[in-house]
């Protein structure tokens, strides 16, 4: 089983975009995990970036407003 890191940087935008992250085997499973922990369906995912987990990864987002 090959796990990948799924990152949505334009997740559920309001005044600014949110962020969603999941580790899963495919994008469908990743979305299911996010909706499960959120407790209700997502109305706007935004674009997704997919990263293999064969090397260290780090991300950050600076808040604004």
pLDDT per residue as tens digits for the range 20-56: 999 999 999 999 999 999 999 999 999 999 999 999 8
Tally of structural domains, the chain: 1
Examine residue 61 and state whether it is found in any structural domain, yes or no.
no
Q: Is residue 20 part of a domain?
A: yes
Does any domain span residue 42? Answer: yes
Q: 50: which strand partners? A: 6
Residue 64 has pLDDT above 70, yes or no: no
Residue 28: inside a domain, yes or no?
yes
Rounded alpha-carbon distances, angstroms, from residue 62 to 19, 37, 39, 51? 11, 24, 26, 21
Residue 19 lies in a domain: yes
Residue ranges making up the domain that contains 34: 4-52
In terms of pLDDT, which residue wins out, 24 or 13? 24
Q: Residue 8 falls within a domain, yes or no?
A: yes
> What residues have CB less than 8 Å from 13, skipping those under 6 apart?
44, 46
For residue 64, tell me if it sits in a domain.
no
Residue 44 lies in a domain: yes
Q: Which pair of tokens denotes residue 59?
A: 């991300």
């Amino acid at each position: 089983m090959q796990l990948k890191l799924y990152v949505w940087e334009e997740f559920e935008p309001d005044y600014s975009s949110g962020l969603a992250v999941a580790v899963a085997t495919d994008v469908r499973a990743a979305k299911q995990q996010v909706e499960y922990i959120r407790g209700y369906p997502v109305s706007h995912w935004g674009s997704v970036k997919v990263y293999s987990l064969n090397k260290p990864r780090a991300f950050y987002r600076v808040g604004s407003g």
